């Protein structure tokens, strides 16, 4: 059985190859619910603000975790430690910053859905266990149908994807690990911004 590790462990060679060999499928994500400041994140990068509409209708426990950690300042200065051109940008390790850390909270039970992974989809990173997501998340650069039903969709970028496109990319031979990575300057729940 092939293991697709995006979370706290390195990609296996096969999973990494699959990421680039998967056929591009023309899929579109279901529209996010109307703007709700309680379920909107502002992720500020050095390039500009990324606005993420969270999907509590798909993954209530994961969305709550993201909001809790955001409100605790956990994501401020977290690096985009793994960025693979044409696939995804991963962040959310506010503990070690290298993709091996997680929050003080226990791992979450998977909340998989039928919502496809397309450009701008925000998903929770995990290790080989489906119930191992904790704090790390990724943003897809392109359709990634091979992730469908195997990772938890937590949101969709609704503006600022061009700033995610500008993030420093890691080399393929290092599985996208980024030396001197870009960082989240600040992350906030929109309802908390005064």
> Got the DSSP string for 6-67?
-SSSPPPHHHHHHHHHSPP----PPPPPSP-GGGEEEEE-SS-EEEEEE-TTT-HHHHHHHH
Instruction: Please give the biggest Cα pair distance in the chain.
Output: 49
CATH class of 13-24+35-192: mainly beta
Rounded Cα distance, 149 and 183, in Å: 29
Residue reference for tokens 């992730």:
147
Instruction: State both tokens at 18.
Output: 């699959």
Rounded Cα distance, 42 and 157, in Å: 10
**Proportion of the chain above pLDDT 90, given as a percent:** 81
Write down the pLDDT at residue 49. 98
Asked if the model's pLDDT at residue 119 lies above 90, the reply is yes
Q: What is the pLDDT of residues 14-59, one digit of tens each?
A: 343 334 433 333 444 445 456 899 999 999 999 999 999 999 999 9
* Mean pLDDT of the 136-164 span: 98
Q: Could you state, in order of their start, the residue ranges of all structural domains in the chain?
A: 13-24+35-192
Residue reference for tokens 């995804």:
88
Residues 6+ apart with CB under 8 A from 41: 51, 52, 54, 66, 67, 70, 155, 187, 188, 189, 190
Mean of per-residue pLDDT scores for the chain: 87
Write down the pLDDT at residue 159. 98
**pTM flag (> 0.75):** yes
Write down the pLDDT at residue 7. 42
Identify the weakest region by mean pLDDT among 17-31, 67-81, 156-170: 17-31
Instruction: Sheet with 49-54: list strands edge to edge.
Output: 82-84, 88-91, 137-140, 121-124, 153-159, 49-54, 40-44, 186-189
């Amino acid at each position: 059985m092939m293991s697709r590790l995006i979370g706290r462990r390195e990609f296996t060679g096969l999973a990494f190859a699959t990421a680039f060999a998967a056929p591009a499928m023309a899929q579109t994500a279901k529209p996010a619910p109307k703007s709700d400041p309680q379920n909107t994140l502002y992720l500020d990068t050095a390039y500009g603000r990324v606005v993420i509409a969270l999907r509590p209708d798909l993954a209530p426990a994961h969305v709550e975790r993201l909001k809790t950690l955001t409100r605790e300042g956990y994501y401020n200065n977290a690096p985009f430690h793994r960025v693979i051109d044409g696939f995804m940008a991963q962040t959310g390790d506010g503990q070690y910053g290298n993709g091996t850390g997680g929050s003080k909270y226990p791992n979450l039970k998977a909340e998989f859905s039928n919502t496809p992974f397309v450009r701008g989809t925000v998903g929770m990173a995990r290790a080989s266990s489906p119930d191992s997501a904790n704090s790390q998340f990724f943003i897809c650069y392109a359709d990634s149908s091979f992730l469908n039903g195997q990772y938890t969709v937590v949101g969709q970028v609704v503006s600022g994807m061009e700033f995610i496109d500008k993030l420093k990319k890691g080399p393929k031979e290092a599985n996208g690990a980024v030396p001197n990575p870009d960082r989240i300057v600040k992350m906030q729940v929109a309802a908390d911004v005064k």
